[in-house]
Amino acid sequence: MVRKTSVEGGVLRAPLIRAFVFSLAVFIFVGLTVVPHASTSNVTAEIQSLNASIAAIKNSTADYPSAAVPSWLSVGSNSWMLTAATLVGLQSVPGVALLYAGLSKKKYAVNSAMMVFYAFAAVLIIWMIAGYNFGFGPAAVKIGSYGIFGTPTPATAGLYEASQTIYGPSGTPLDIPTATYIFFQFVFAAITPVLLAGGVLERMNFKAWMIFVPIWSLLVYSPVAYWLFAGGWLNALGAVDFSGGYVIHVDAGVGALAAAFAVGPRLASERKLEAHSLPLVLAGAGLVWLGWDGFNGGDPGGATIDAAIAVLNTNIATAASAIAWIGMDMAFFKKPTLVGAVSGAVTGLVAITPAAGYINGWEAILIGIASGTVPWISLYKLEPKLKADDTLGVFSTHGIAGILGGLLTGVFADPNVTNYIAPGLKGALYGDFYQLGIQAFAAGVVFVYDFAITYGLLKLIGLFIPLRVSTDTMAVGDYEIHGEVAYSELLATIPSSKKEKSQVSETNDVQEPRDKKESD
């Protein structure tokens, strides 16, 4: 009797099965004997070589003195944190510098980039002198058990920088050196006034800006960082800010609004946004977007599951927000714009920042949709009524988006996600309405404190140095302020008297030392 096997109504005869089995046996035989010309000993040697390479990688720190790689140090976490910090630094220079230069008028491209570049440098110096420990050091001022300010002492001692990072009032140890943590927190401190600059571009006196930035960083950024990042009083009350929605973006956005009021508006004829270079805008925005992986991915303090979740949520929300903003532009202006898409991406990045490591993917999409609509409404409907000349709409894109993200953190914080970094934290959606309330309270505190200190500080500086450039300087722009232009064709638009004055000044600056030497 012939054996048959049914295959979907067809018949597969036994001889075909035997032929298949024979072919398979031949294939296996050839694979084991003919194909690997290398002998078994060669294969063994290759495996041993591979194992040796793996061992070398694992022991790559063996060549260093034992003191350089203490038992508490995680090479992986330290590498990631330094990389994350560098990504955030690149967001400022050249990221925001390119973005702001591209969004500005041609004649202010140099000044816009220069304000960013200076702020980045100035904050690092004040950060090392006093800012870091004022925001992350031991409590110097307490009300009861609540820390108000850190101790504004230098963070420059070699032994201190080489020591293990001890974080927060509970003294939680991290597996990275203090030097790494100081640098990581610095790039956050630096990007805050960098972003704030967008509110006063095209008219603020650069000399006033030079004085304002380090003082503002010390008096505004460091205290708010202490309150929410380092276990200060708002954090002790239950407020959370995963990576700086309040500390960085509400600070920057509200600071920009206060500064716009204090400095005053641009010339009436120049208040319309005229992005002179969309390629620069796109290049800057790309650096900002991808740099945000370090921004939110570095917050857990190491290469952890929560870091991966934060990075994924960051990109999800950004994409959803950009699409939502494009939709708003098309609904109201009938055309999608690159500047609009970039604005939506930025608001998505901002809004997800306080929530990135606390929520799930669906909630990231919802936050993105909200951040692509609410800040849009603020920018085009609310800000014009405030009568503040916020040049690049920093209040809406950072301040409002940051507040929105902080509030939605109080709604969406998912205990299945927070379990990896903040066990017990959950939002109103999961039954904890207190979290939403304390998030709203923290937003109000940061708003009022930031606005008051920023406005007061600028008015104080204005008693000694003009906060804004003259009308003539505004008309000329970069050449009058810095003696250089971004585009050579702008030189043809500069009055001859301005060029001659600048050339005479430069000649005197160069010749003076030689003349003095000859006269001696």
- CATH code of the domain containing 205: 1.10.3430.10
Indicate whether 46 and 147 sit together in one domain: no
Residue ranges of the chain whose pLDDT lies below 50: 1-13, 15-16, 19-20, 24, 26-38, 504-520
Residues 451, 482: one domain? no
User: What is the distance between the alpha carbons of residues 518 and 34, in angstroms, rounded to a whole number?
Assistant: 89
Residues 503 and 354 in one domain: no
Q: 59 in a domain, yes or no?
A: no
Q: Answer yes or no: do 362 and 494 share one domain.
A: no
> Are residues 258 and 226 both part of a single domain?
yes
pLDDT of residue 325: 99
Q: Could you tell me if residue 291 is left (phi over 0), alpha (psi between -120 and 50 degrees) or otherwise beta?
A: alpha
24 and 89 share one domain: no
| Residues in a beta bridge with 12 | 5
Q: Which domain holds residue 503?
A: 471-511
Structural domain total, the chain: 3
Residue 175 host element (H or E): strand 172-177
Same domain, 370 and 497: no
447 lies in the same domain as 491: no
Q: What is the pLDDT of residues 316-353, one digit of tens each?
A: 999 999 999 999 999 999 999 999 999 999 999 999 99
Whether residues 256 and 287 fall in one domain: yes
Do 336 and 475 share a structural domain?
Answer: no
Classify residue 275: in a domain, yes or no. yes
Task: Please report whether residue 69 resides in a domain.
Answer: no
**Does residue 8 sit within a domain?**
no
Residue 494 gets which letter from DSSP? S
48 domain residue, yes or no: yes
pLDDT of 78: 96
Which tokens belong to 244? 């700086």
Q: What does the pLDDT read at residue 54?
A: 55
Asked if the structure places residue 150 within a domain, the reply is yes
Contacts of 127 (CB under 8 A, 6+ apart): 155, 182, 185, 186, 189, 190, 217
Model pLDDT, residue 61: 52
Residue 89: C-alpha distances to residues 23, 124, 190 (Å): 61, 11, 8
In-domain check, residue 518? no
What integer pLDDT is reported at residue 268 of this predicted model?
85
What pLDDT is recorded for position 1? 38
Helix 109-126 to helix 178-196 angle (10° resolution) is: 150
The closest alpha carbon to 298, from 79, 49, 488, belongs to 79
Residue at 73 is within a domain: no
State residue 271's pLDDT score: 86
Let me know whether 379 and 482 are in one domain.
Answer: no
How many angstroms separate the most distant Cα atoms in the chain? 123
- In this structure, is the dihedral angle defined by the CA atoms of residues 276, 280, 282 and 284, taken in order, positive or negative? negative
Q: Are residues 497 and 354 in the same domain?
A: no
